[in-house]
Structure 1
């Protein structure tokens, strides 16, 4: 079987040169890929009034948010801090959907003051919100449709045991609160999970949303969430966006006729927008042979990319320094004092100490879930934009570890 051809450049910029210029580990993002992913969604749903609300939790760097804005996207935030980052990036408050989980009414009030759209997912806070604002502040309600979907149990969030959303079986209780406090419900939302392949899941959950929506006369939009599948390795099956777009749009337009007015369709893609745009560049510290396994120990680990350990996620790894070398089987492992496997039993062009490696599909939930575990420093970030490599986050220094510590004189 021929070796898969991995790109050694982004927009003509050598990834080797990025590693040399900025050091490793370093996250590198392709601005053109982010833009093209948003354009793909716009084309797939071109028949309906669409708003793409990029799920900022996937990657919150302000410069990435600016790229999303330039491409015509809006944003979904899950914390007041993410809301503020979106405002810093130039989004208007009305462009921001705020979808928290388990937060206090005090944080929600902060976001109301900032002007973002509020999306609530539990009855106690919905009641407090109604007591506080009545009909004054519009709100969206997140419904749990009780549909199991997604490629991993940890990212399936629409099933009956999930903490997210108000159960569809509690619709009457929602309606009682809405009536009691004259709450202005302008949107309904659901999100079933990630890595969803086909249109049937979206249509099934959409039917739950459509039936519930008939009970709310003031709606302006329905939010179908995200969860579109991207490719992680050669031959991966991915979501057929044109099929999903056409079939969901057709069902949505039919519902709007039944509802009696045109609504907007909102989507909240996160991983779909940024995953394939990002690579984590690392350097081989050691090549360690044992009787059974050859390990490549690199200068990064679960402190920078936790997905392989947390989700059993697959990330392709290739050798930037020796791309034509003879393929050998390796376990690529991190430098963290834990079982810290990035890639197991992978065929990679021969790795030598000092070689630069690229870990693919690292744009989503990479730097945003990074930590200082083992007192390691978080890496730099670089954006390839208009054919140039631009630093968008400085590498941490030792002083950053002490910055917020209060050192006592003991």
Structure 2
């Protein structure tokens, strides 16, 4: 996206600001779906990455389903117009009450523990379900997003498959899908192939299975020339393995994925203003009009986001520590080389589409930023900036004498 469009967006909608390139999201979806050569493919967009209604509606228009991890995300999907059978509900450690709500809404249910498997088999014997398997494969760019290893809280252990078989047989459960997700920021396509081999061995045990879901976790490029998953090469390799399994089984399964970051990461930009430039005895700080309350990935995941100076891109390059304004150590980057920054310059963070605005908070009582989608060259406000009235709106004036 051109700098002029981003600068204009800030001029119109203020700072800090999230800006999304709708055309890039559409291109990402097209590249992903075109990569797989199978008879049946279904993509469920993982809305936890970016759950704005306009984004959900965009992916729905492209034919995507929705991957939801909470009942609230399910409601967001239904509000955006998704059919219930296009929504896959994949929570973990939730109450039976939340499962009951999801069942009443008619969405597809993914089960990741034996207790819930038994509960659903006894109380909803006709309900088709997915079963999430933990393959015990260590994968992912950070321990917080590696979810398929032996100590993970996610899924039913691959070693507990005999227990699954016993419960399914005893309660006559209709297992329509088998699901696996190993983590995020996975570069090595062979991890998926290894997971596939394990999942195929589970699928073979249940004649009722029609859908096989491999989650997501594809690595995107965060730095110029950064390594990333070559989705075309991966799709070709994985399709071959999947088609061979279908042929061996004499059955056409639906191949499913749940990309979130892949669909929106590089389509997102976060823009903040330089409040001041602070020189200390050891370094020079750029102090921004934002903090980890709006953009937590660098602090939470130690994530790298490429930084540019939008308003002085040709300035002399200097070394800065880029920090925020909350009452904590909120360093976005240390020793980062950026064109000279002046007061009120606009600082751009790239790859801000996934797990950025959705993880924002009101820490220090700061309102959350506005969000804008640019589609076919036109900027649309898709979330207004919060106000102090919004922060107070859920508080109740209790009749208490102090």
Find the partner of 1:59 among 35, 50, 75. Answer: 50
CA distance in 2, matches of 1:143, 1:296: 46
What residue number does 2:32 align with?
41
Structure 1 residues without counterparts, runs of 5 or longer: 1-6
Structure 2 residues without counterparts, runs of 5 or longer: none
CA contact (8 A) 1:274 1:363 kept: yes
Tell me, what secondary structure is at the counterpart of 1:276? helix
Whether 1:111 and 2:99 are equivalent positions in the alignment is no
1:183-229 deviation per Cα after TM superposition (whole angstroms, max 9, x unaligned): 11000000000111122111000000001110010111100110000
CA distance in 2, matches of 1:143, 1:99: 12
CA distance in 2, matches of 1:162, 1:42: 29
CA distance in 1, matches of 2:264, 2:171: 40
CA distance in 1, matches of 2:36, 2:44: 14
Find the partner of 2:159 among 164, 169, 187. Answer: 169
Find the partner of 2:132 among 135, 142, 165. Answer: 142
Whether 1:191 and 2:185 are equivalent positions in the alignment is no
What residue number does 1:120 align with?
111
CA distance in 1, matches of 2:10, 2:347: 9
Whether 1:212 and 2:202 are equivalent positions in the alignment is yes
User: 1:172 Cα deviation (Å)?
Assistant: 0.6
TM-score (norm 2): 0.98
User: 1:109 Cα deviation (Å)?
Assistant: 1.1
CA distance in 2, matches of 1:165, 1:156: 12
How many residues end up aligned between the 2 structures?
400
Whether 1:19 and 2:13 are equivalent positions in the alignment is no
Pairs within 5 Å for 1:218-367: 218-367=208-357
CA contact (8 A) 1:8 1:320 kept: no
Tell me, what secondary structure is at the counterpart of 2:48? helix
Whether 1:79 and 2:73 are equivalent positions in the alignment is no
CA distance in 2, matches of 1:307, 1:295: 19
CA distance in 2, matches of 1:232, 1:324: 22
CA contact (8 A) 2:47 2:260 kept: yes
1:314-344 deviation per Cα after TM superposition (whole angstroms, max 9, x unaligned): 0111111111111111111011111100111
Find the partner of 2:19 among 16, 28, 36. Answer: 28
User: 1:47 Cα deviation (Å)?
Assistant: 3.1
State the Cα RMSD in Å: 1.0
CA distance in 2, matches of 1:357, 1:20: 14
TM-score (norm 1): 0.96
